[in-house]
């Protein structure tokens, strides 16, 4: 079983249902975005952007829908580092329903970007260190 260091609880909203009575697929991507930003906060990327205008841009995202979600309810979105390269990194997300079952799995590829210079840049060492710290804190 994989461990995910960063978790976010989200209340499902009635307005997120579609014609068929389940949470619309677009909402899953909102939950994934919330999870991604929550991870950025955990590794200091949000603070880095505020200080230097260097942050991450989303290069790709995908989601596999495994179980429907329904209102009322709550989910837990958990995220872990999938890979790290020189200028990019990947995140893996799981959306768990209120019974702890995996309702969806998603992956993101993000690229470090200097918004002032409009170019990609290497991942700063302090951000890499925070990524490593999160992964190392996980129970075996």
19-74: pLDDT as tens digits: 998 999 999 999 999 999 999 999 999 999 999 999 999 999 999 999 999 999 99
- pLDDT grade, residue 1 (50/70/90)? low
pLDDT in tens, 63-105: 999 999 999 999 999 999 999 999 999 999 999 999 999 999 9
- Decide: helix, strand or coil at residue 61: strand
pTM of the model: 0.94
Q: Say what the pLDDT of residue 138 is.
A: 59
CA-to-CA dists, residue 81 to 9, 34, 35, 97, 110, angstroms: 19, 15, 12, 21, 11
Could you give all domains of the chain from N- to C-terminal order, each with its CATH number? 6-135 (3.10.129.10)
């Amino acid at each position: 079983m994989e461990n995910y260091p960063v978790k976010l609880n989200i209340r499902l909203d009635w307005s997120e249902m579609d014609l068929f009575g389940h949470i619309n697929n677009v909402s899953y991507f909102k939950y994934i975005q919330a999870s991604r930003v929550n991870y950025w906060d955990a590794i200091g990327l949000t603070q880095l952007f505020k200080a230097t205008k260097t942050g991450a841009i989303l290069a790709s995202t995908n989601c596999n829908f495994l179980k429907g979600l329904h209102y009322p309810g709550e989910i837990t979105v958990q995220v872990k580092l999938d890979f790290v390269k020189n200028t990019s990194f990947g995140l893996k997300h799981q959306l768990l329903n209120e019974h702890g079952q995996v309702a969806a799995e998603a992956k993101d590829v993000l690229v470090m970007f200097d918004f002032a210079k409009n170019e990609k840049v290497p991942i700063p060492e302090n951000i890499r260190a925070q990524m490593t710290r999160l992964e190392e804190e996980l129970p075996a």
